[in-house]
Each structure stands twice: as structure tokens, then as C-alpha cells.
Chain A
Amino acid sequence: MRPRGWKAQLPVAALAALLGFGLVVQVRTTQGGSALGTARADDLLRIIDDLTARSDRLRQETDDLRAARARLTTSGDKAAAAIDEAGKRADTLAILAGTVGTHGPGIRAVVDDPGHVLHADFLVDVIQELRDAGAEAMMINGHRVGAPTYVVDDVVTRVIDGAPLTQPYTITAIGDESTLASALAIPRGIVDTAQDAGAKITVNPAADLVIDALRPLSAPRYARPAQVG
């Protein structure tokens, strides 16, 4: 470089400084802050259009998801209600079938028949009478009475579901105490029949009786549920 005068170079240096200054400022502006500040109007319009379309899409998606959630919530409620209902039905059926223990108000009748004059039909009558009076669960000498229960005569003893009964016969029934008691006490009914035959019978209502004898649950071999509806 050939040497020049300082004065002649000053404007050049000043302009170079201006360039450096502008360069740094511009770089800083581009890096710092968002690019939106320096964007042109039509670019901004395009960006706004894009964002609007995107937010529309997202809003649509939100609506869809919200609807799906509502659908799932209601169906979940229905399923819970159905499970609840099924549980109640299962409880009812289990008590009827005798697969669970149960307790509640009812009566306890004790029959002492030293002369063995009361036959199986007497016990069947007792069961029938109590069922008629609304007994919901019954137990005779620790044998749960269920739908297939039968009572037959052996030579001197009575046999329930294949097991011999020992005296005295203790019949426990759960249901409305007074209804059950009066069902046994009607004229010419169970109590009269037993006493006429020479047996001793006592009927005691109780507020809370426990029936803890269970029946094994056997799946039906022949009967199949029919499709309803």
C-alpha cells in the first residue's frame, strides 16, 4: 500500500466504521428477538394465515378429543352401573343357591320327636310352609336348604340331601320373623300337627340369625340358559 495522508483517509475510515457498526447492529437485530419484527406485511399475513389454519386444525382436534372423552365417560358410567347391577344379582343368586353364608332376622324352630313319628313329609311341609311365608334362606341341622334339597325317610331317621338327620331337628329360617312364626302356628298347621303326633316343637323368633352352612355349587348338566329377547 502506498502511504496516504491521514486527512484523505478519514472519510474512508468513517464509512468503514459505519459499515461495521451497521453490520453488528443488523446481526444483533436478526439474532435477538423474533424474526417477525423485521418481516414484511405480506409475509406477516402469510404467517397469520398459516397460524390461523393451524389453530383451526388444533381446535377441531380438541373438539374431537373432547367428544371422544364424553363418549368414553358415559360408557364407563354405564359399565360401572352394569357391574354394580350384576354384583347385586350375583349376591341374590348366591343367597338363593346357598353358596354364601347369610344372616338376618328370622325364626329358629326346634323339633324333638323321641317317638320318630314325624316322617319326611313333615319336614317337607315345614320347608314348604316357610318358603310360602317368604323365607329367603333355610338351614336344617347344619344343612343348607337349596333348590334341589330333598328329604326322605330311612328306617327310623330322616335323610336330607343324603345325610342322616339327628334329633332334635333345628330349623333356622331367615325372613320376616312374625310372618314365619305365624305361618308355622296356623291352626292345623305345622305346630299343631307336631304336637298332635306327640312331638315337642318350639318356635323362637330372633332379630339376627346366622346361616353359615353352604351348598356346593354344581353346574347344571342338561339345562342351558335360553337366550332372552
Chain B
Amino acid sequence: MIAFAGLLFGVVLGIVVHPTVPLWLEPYLPLAVVAAMDAVFGGLRATLDRIFDEKVFVVSFLSNTLVAALIVFFGDQLGVGGQLSTAIVVVLGIRIFSNVAAIRRHVFRA
């Protein structure tokens, strides 16, 4: 599947290029990555459910990362950035877990 090829390509690119994260991006990148992982696992589940839609995936991916970054940004402005980051990680972690559980049921029938 071309998406896996893309993921692999991105990993290799990151290893090869080894860029420095700009300072303004540093607080947001980890949460954006977690949000993107949530979207990817959601997409994988949808694929297994045979309801995958490219448009939905792209929109959910972008909005997930943007909203996560925005929440952290506003949290930082309000002085509760650390707590909001934790909240986002918890919420997204739960979603990733449930998505993975659904995928597992599909794959292993259990």
C-alpha cells in the first residue's frame, strides 16, 4: 500500500536529512506527531472496516495536528500549556488504544 511506502519514505528522509527542529515548533511537534498517529490508526481502522475515505483521512489528519498544536499554543498563552499537553496526550492515547483494539479484532478476530 502506497501509504506505508510514504511512511517508510518519511522515516528514511528524517534519518538521512536529520534536520534541527526550529525553536517555535519544539513544543508543538511531539503533540502534532501524536495527533497524526491517531489519525493514521483511525485511517487504518477505517480501511479494515472498508469505509476508508481519502478525503476524510486528509482532513482529519490535518485538523487533528492543527487542533493539537492550537490547544498547546493557547495553553501556553494561558500558562497551562503543560497540563493541556498532558490532557491531549491522554485523550489521543485513549483513542489510539481503542483504534488499535478495533484493528486487533479485525486482524485476529479476537
What is the interface of chain A, defined by CB distance below 8 A to chain B? Answer: 1-2, 4, 6, 8-26, 28-30, 37-38, 40, 42-43
Contact = CB atoms under 8 A, between A and B. Distances in A.
5 contacts: A1-B47, A9-B54, A11-B58, A38-B26, A38-B27
B21 A14 contact: no
Given A13-B6, A15-B36, A20-B9, A28 B27 contact: no
Size category, B interface: 35 or more
B18 interface: yes
B78 interface: no
Given A20-B6, A21-B10, A25-B21, A15 B29 contact: no
Given A21-B10, A22-B32, A37 B40 contact: no
B31 to A, nearest CB: 10
A118 to B, nearest CB: 112
Contacts of A12: 2-3, 6, 43, 54, 57-58
B14 A21 contact: yes
Interface in B33-57: 33, 36-37, 39-40, 43, 47, 50, 54, 57
Contacts of A21: 10-11, 13-14
Nearest to B54: A8
A22 B7 contact: no
Given A21-B11, A28-B14, A16 B6 contact: yes
